[in-house]
Amino acid sequence: MAEDTNPDETIHAGKFLSYRKTAEGWEYVTRSNAKGCVAVLAMTDDKRVILIEQFRPPTGRNVIELPAGLAGDIPLQEEEPLVTAAKRELKEETGYIAKNWTLLTEGTSSAGMTDEFVSIFYATGLTKMGEGGGVGGEEIRVHYVHQMDFPKWCRDRQAEGKWVDFKIFAALYLARSVSQSTESRLWY
């Protein structure tokens, strides 16, 4: 890793995260093992959104999410392009590869808590190539949700005590604009 040139004070450095403080006293967390985060809105030809579900220790419950992960976190692949990481994560977590890739947006995940930056990609032209489920002990469950059933499906998962990551809704909205649909209302 390159020498740290950030003037902020490191309060604690863990294996993957550092807890830092600015000169003005603002505390935040930064990743020490990745150059970025990626998430993928994968849409089947029959308009089903592919989502994942996994237990997330910070929340203490299962969370419904877009397939996602880190870029540059594999030794000797620290300069991995973001789209390459997105392709890898989609295949590892869902078993799918995609023919078409579009960058939907990039932005902070929680600007008051971390400097983490997320790039969300839209993947279409999908082909099932494996089982998915994640790697290294990840216990990922894959869900296929038709875009028209999406709001109710999410409410039902929340009623079960699961959390639904809001980035899914942002990705769906942005994908609609990319598809240049002429519908007068949102399709989810």
Instruction: Please list the rounded mean pLDDT of every run of 10 residues in the chain (188 residues).
Output: 70 91 93 89 96 95 96 81 95 97 94 92 96 86 94 95 95 84 45
Residue whose token pair is 């490191």? 10
Q: Give this prediction's pTM.
A: 0.87
Residue 32 has what pLDDT?
Answer: 82
Q: Which CATH class is domain 34-178?
A: alpha beta
* Domain assignments of the chain as residue spans, ordered by start: 1-33, 34-178
Residues 77 and 125: their CA atoms lie apart, in Å, by: 27
Residue 33 has what pLDDT?
Answer: 81
Cα 43–48–50 angle (5° rounding)? Answer: 65
Residue 6 has what pLDDT?
Answer: 73
